Amino acid sequence: MASLLDLRRRIRSVKNIQQITRAMKMIAAGRLRRAQEEAMQARPYSEALRDIVSNLAQRMGERSHPLLEPREEKRVLLVVVTGDKGLCGSFNTNVIRRTTKEIAGFEEVELLLLGNRASEFFKRREIPIRDSYTSIFSGVDADTAQEIASDISAAFTDGEYDAVYVVYNQFVSVLRQDLKLERLLPLQSVGGDGEAQAVEGSEYIFEPAPSDILEAVVESYVGSQIFRVLLESQASEHAARMTAMDSATRNAGELIDSLTLSYNRSRQTAITTELIEVVSGAQALQG
């Protein structure tokens, strides 16, 4: 049985941890509110741009632009999006586990790592890495997303890869984040595999010609998708961290109650033992 001093130290230690987890929960909740708003605001633009590109691709044909050209998927670039920090439950672990599973299904694969956790994990593995962006979530901005998109688009156009996929967590609610595997390139037109369907009844009048618009819009589309993925992942990370820290705070409270009960029992046992010794000594003196 632990001594009273050990129990007091453990109670004090757990209380300190509880204060930290409670503070981290409040910080994550504050950041989540803003990240959720940014993710929700990015969705309509991204979806509308996707519909426009799909409509243009349908009119011009899949081979009207290099980024629309379907190829046999032999060499694949896998974009892995994790967080920069831990203490967010299984948020990072799920992405890494899914990535490892998907790697086995491709003939030849290379990784583009977004986030410290992905970089730290895969740099110790014998898997080709194109590039890694660390501390990217300290300030997600459209310029960084466009830089990443330009690099990916140029590599695909030059024939370095036959397809580009992204693995990330999509924000649904505070308690739910869906793990997604989406194809970024080649872009999918209406009537492809059904993932990029245009809204029914949507008709656009194009000025200038659709071919000119397609040339200008395609790369912006890739950048918008990368930006949306980063915002979705950022909101998911804050939500996962808030949930994990809330659970940790409750668990710490339960542990404190359990340790306090053990401490009180041990203290009562010690007091009872001392009383018995005093009474026994008094009786021995009287005898």
What are the residue boundaries of the structural domains of the chain, listed by start?
Answer: 4-20+245-281, 24-241
- Please report how many Cα atoms fall inside a 13 Å half-sphere around the Cα of residue 129, on the Cβ side: 15
What mean pLDDT is predicted for residues 24-35? Answer: 94
Domain boundaries 24-241, corresponding CATH code = 3.40.1380.10
CA proximity to 134, closest of 122, 150, 117: 117
Residue 61 zone, left/alpha/beta (φ > 0; ψ -120 to 50; rest): left
Catalytic residue numbers read 88
CA distance 242 to 23: 10
Is residue 243 over pLDDT 70? Answer: yes
Which pLDDT value is given to residue 115?
93
Summarised one tens digit per residue, pLDDT across range 177-233 is 999 999 998 876 544 444 444 444 456 676 777 677 777 788 788 999 999 999 999
CA distance 280 to 286: 10
The CATH class given to the 4-20+245-281 domain equals mainly alpha
Question: Counting beta carbons within 10 angstroms of the beta carbon of residue 285, is it exposed (0 to 12), middle (13 to 18) or buried (19 or more)?
Answer: exposed
Tokens for 235, please give them. 């909101």
CA distance 170 to 11: 38
Which pLDDT value is given to residue 276?
86
Find tokens 């930290």 and name the residue.
20
Percentage of the chain beyond pLDDT 90 is 56
Worst-scoring range by mean pLDDT, 128-132, 138-142, 244-248? 138-142
Summarised one tens digit per residue, pLDDT across range 49-95 is 888 787 777 776 545 678 888 888 899 999 999 999 999 999 999 99
Kindly report the three-state secondary structure assignment for every residue of 236-282. Answer: HHHHHHHHHHHHHHHHHHHHHHHHHHHHHHHHHHHHHHHHHHHHHHH
Which pLDDT value is given to residue 192?
40
Tokens for 93, please give them. 């672990």
**What's the CA dihedral at 33, 36, 41, 46 to 10 degrees?**
160
Worst-scoring range by mean pLDDT, 6-20, 100-114, 189-203, 247-261? 189-203
